[in-house]
């Protein structure tokens, strides 16, 4: 069963490479920009997610007030992330559409994205969001190289433009490819933070912890030398 799953994943990734090679002009999957994960990127991603993704997707495990630890004020969070939608500052993000609407439009509610990065990986999400192509046979008009027959439409279409499965540009995006990649990376940064809101605190404490361990190791080494110096001294006396 594990072997079959492994081959299935490889097959999906190969299909994704075939489509992405056209858009990205490369033969491999796209890599996230170095240093993409930082507080400004998470804040930018939270704003983008709120405007383009929160209509359908929830992020229930991340309370809005946790964004304050990134440097946002409550007023900024309410204006740019909560979007004055009546959401609770001390609760997580809920989708704008109702359960009945979700079932009617997509057949089932879109998944909560609180831990999606932990489940699929940041790299997969980054490539998935850039793998949509125009497919008139699909109910939404969209398909995806990494997730064939996906129900989700390409909500980032204004930035990415419209391309066919073969990579033919039907309508160019409103921003440059570099700007599009940056926006997607910011959304991924936000979802990564949502899956582990303590990450920046741990990064900050990590240096202190390592420093304490180094100091303890030096003290332990000094004590070890002092102890064995006395042992060797007593042994030498007994030999005499």
DSSP state of 144: E
DSSP β-ladder status, 142-144 and 132-134: antiparallel
Q: What is the pLDDT of residue 134?
A: 96
| pTM passes above 0.75 | yes
Return the pLDDT at 203: 80
Identify the three-state secondary structure at position 172: strand
- Average pLDDT for runs of 10 along the chain of length 240: 38 38 49 94 96 92 94 94 84 87 83 94 95 94 93 93 92 94 97 93 82 87 79 62
Q: Please tell me the distance from the alpha carbon of residue 237 to that of residue 95, in angstroms, as a whole number.
A: 80
Contact between 32 and 185 (Cβ < 8 Å) = yes
The pLDDT value recorded for residue 201 is: 85
Q: Are 29 and 121 in contact, with CB atoms under 8 Å apart?
A: no
């Amino acid at each position: 069963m594990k072997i079959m799953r492994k081959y299935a994943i490889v097959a999906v990734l190969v299909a994704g490479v075939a489509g992405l090679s056209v858009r990205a002009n490369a033969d491999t999957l796209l890599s996230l920009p170095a240093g993409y994960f930082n507080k400004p990127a998470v804040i930018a991603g939270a704003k983008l997610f709120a405007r383009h993704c929160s209509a359908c997707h929830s992020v229930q495990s991340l309370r809005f007030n946790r964004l304050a630890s990134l440097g946002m004020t409550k007023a900024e969070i309410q204006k740019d992330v909560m979007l004055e939608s009546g959401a609770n500052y001390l609760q997580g993000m809920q989708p704008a559409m109702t359960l009945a609407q979700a079932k009617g439009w997509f057949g089932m509610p879109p998944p909560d994205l609180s831990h999606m990065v932990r489940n699929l990986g940041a790299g997969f999400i980054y490539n998935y969001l850039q793998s949509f192509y125009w497919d008139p046979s699909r109910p939404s008009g969209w398909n995806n190289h990494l997730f064939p027959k996906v129900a989700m439409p390409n909500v980032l279409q204004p930035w990415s433009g419209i391309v066919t499965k073969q990579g033919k540009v039907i309508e160019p995006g409103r921003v440059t490819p570099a700007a599009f990649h940056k926006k997607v990376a910011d959304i991924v940064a936000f979802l990564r933070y949502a899956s582990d809101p303590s990450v920046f605190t741990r990064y900050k404490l990590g240096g202190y912890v390592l420093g304490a361990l180094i100091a303890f190791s030096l003290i332990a080494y000094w004590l070890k030398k002092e102890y064995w110096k006395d042992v060797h001294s007593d042994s030498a006396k007994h030999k005499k």
